[in-house]
Structure 1
């Protein structure tokens, strides 16, 4: 009986994964909550714990009260959407504004936990609990996205290889930034492959729409001044890392380009890209687009 009234300390907001009671207890143990296997047995007698983000309300309480709250408490959540093609800098700014969080803390947590400078998040609509800390939010988004990326790799390739998948995501990010529409993506993918095969520089403005420059028009001066590996006017091949966060359609396009000999494209007057295989034709397409 004394055990039930011992003290449990826990974050006010906790995440309960889908699965058994003992999986929930194990997850909370990993989060630093002082629970034990016997608590799983007690919890099974009380009911099933809520799933997802739940609000425990307090950081310290008796074990009996804590286990009871696991079965009854729910967190108020807000939905936030990451759009395919958006950069992490912009997304973190969005999180800070919409969830009343600190941008500096979000960025610090991101740099601490993210495996890559960019392209770690899966664009989606996420339900975020009110009151979650910046670090817990970043870890949750990164873990969720990592599992989704692995599942996409298994679905599309039949396996998951970290280095190979990075190349695919990087190519998809350029497609995501360059394509005029989803239908346009396999054509942009084809141009990328054709230029890489010929060892031509990609020379794509979208690669310079990284980070804080996500929505800026790329000028001739910017091309001259930018010395990062993202500048595909100066450097051959794909950038070292993704330019943005990519969706599943862009990943599919990266893996399944149309078969063509296109090397150039320009946005026409109707907003769609006009493709060509020769520079002379491309030059004329540019002239036509500006008339």
Structure 2
């Protein structure tokens, strides 16, 4: 009988301690889930497992850990892409719920081939209600060149995204595209050498009447560079805010930058705008021609010549 009472007493104490332990765990968990989390209102979550997303968020400076990965399993699978969590300060519970359920309202923004970053950022600032100066500052932190880095396409970005996150997203996604293309064309990626091709492509983009002319324009550029001749191309002067400004004789006289290919030999210091895949292909593999000159004809296409006397004749015929 005494033995039975001892066993019963032991079981009772064990149950009491187990219950106490459960209460402690529940209280600790509730306390943990009410702790604040600070982050941007709009977040980008890569596709992947819960663990990889928690690691990504932790590296981005958000206070999450392995326990959060376990807790997310009870809430659902994390979203991927841009999400709007609605606030910059939430409880841990709200944060975990948001990243498994929230979706952002996406706004399409398009960069067309040939457009400059300066004008694209003007449009972004207006369309998304961003501070233009902060967008510029953020871009400079991540981009290797002032222009030609952002790949021309339609991007879907969430309302409420910060200038910092948008610049980071555009640059990182575009650089990945540049690297992939370089590896496809050459088998390796050398940023400096690659963006020399992008610079050539950006002039082709500005000068060519259509895709068919691009390899021929490219041949003129390479032929002139080989001979040490200045490029003397108006497209190089359509940089920055001069993207759609007609190049005049006065502008050619007064522009003292390296983009003035009438004054300086060689290429501009960096691309003069965004480039299409066709322009890049032309820069990488130009047509083989003897041409050194071209001028726009009556039909809007260019007349290509290899001698200056023929070029002058083409100019006169184009004016008639």
Shorter-chain TM-score range: over 0.9
CA shift at 1:135, angstroms?
Answer: 1.6
Aligned to 2:198: 169
CA shift at 1:32, angstroms?
Answer: 1.7
Aligned to 2:298: 269
- 1:100 corresponds, among 123, 129, 152, to 129
CA shift at 1:184, angstroms?
Answer: 1.0
CA shift at 1:205, angstroms?
Answer: 0.5
- 1:192 corresponds, among 221, 246, 255, to 221
Higher CA-based Rg: 2
Aligned to 1:207: 236
CA shift at 1:67, angstroms?
Answer: 1.0
Aligned length: 291
**In the alignment, does 2:118 pair up with 1:89?**
yes
CA shift at 1:65, angstroms?
Answer: 2.1
Give, in whole Å, the separation in 1 of the partners of 2:129 and 2:34. Answer: 36
Written as runs of structure 1 = structure 2, the 5 A alignment for 1:26-45 is 26-45=55-74
Give, in whole Å, the separation in 2 of the partners of 1:159 and 1:208. Answer: 31
| TM-score, reference length from structure 1 | 0.96
Give, in whole Å, the separation in 1 of the partners of 2:172 and 2:292. Answer: 38
CA shift at 1:168, angstroms?
Answer: 0.9
What SS is found at the alignment partner of 1:79? strand
Aligned to 1:66: 95
- 1:252 corresponds, among 277, 281, 289, to 281
What SS is found at the alignment partner of 1:244? coil
Give, in whole Å, the separation in 2 of the partners of 1:167 and 1:248. Answer: 15
CA shift at 1:91, angstroms?
Answer: 0.5
- 1:229 corresponds, among 251, 258, 261, to 258
| TM-score, reference length from structure 2 | 0.88
Structure 2: any 5+ residue segments left out of the alignment? 1-28
What SS is found at the alignment partner of 2:223? helix
- 1:135 corresponds, among 164, 181, 185, to 164
RMSD of aligned alpha carbons: 1.2
Aligned to 2:310: 281
What SS is found at the alignment partner of 2:77? coil
CA shift at 1:37, angstroms?
Answer: 2.1
Aligned to 1:77: 106
**In the alignment, does 2:245 pair up with 1:216?**
yes
What SS is found at the alignment partner of 1:128? strand
CA shift at 1:45, angstroms?
Answer: 3.8
Aligned to 1:151: 180
1:73-119 deviation digits (Å, cap 9, x = unpaired): 00101001000111111110011111122222222222333221211
Give, in whole Å, the separation in 2 of the partners of 1:253 and 1:76. Answer: 38
Aligned to 2:143: 114
What SS is found at the alignment partner of 2:211? coil
Give, in whole Å, the separation in 2 of the partners of 1:98 and 1:65. Answer: 30
Structure 1: any 5+ residue segments left out of the alignment? none
Give, in whole Å, the separation in 2 of the partners of 1:32 and 1:198. Answer: 53
1:184-237 deviation digits (Å, cap 9, x = unpaired): 110100101111111111100000000010001101110010110111111111
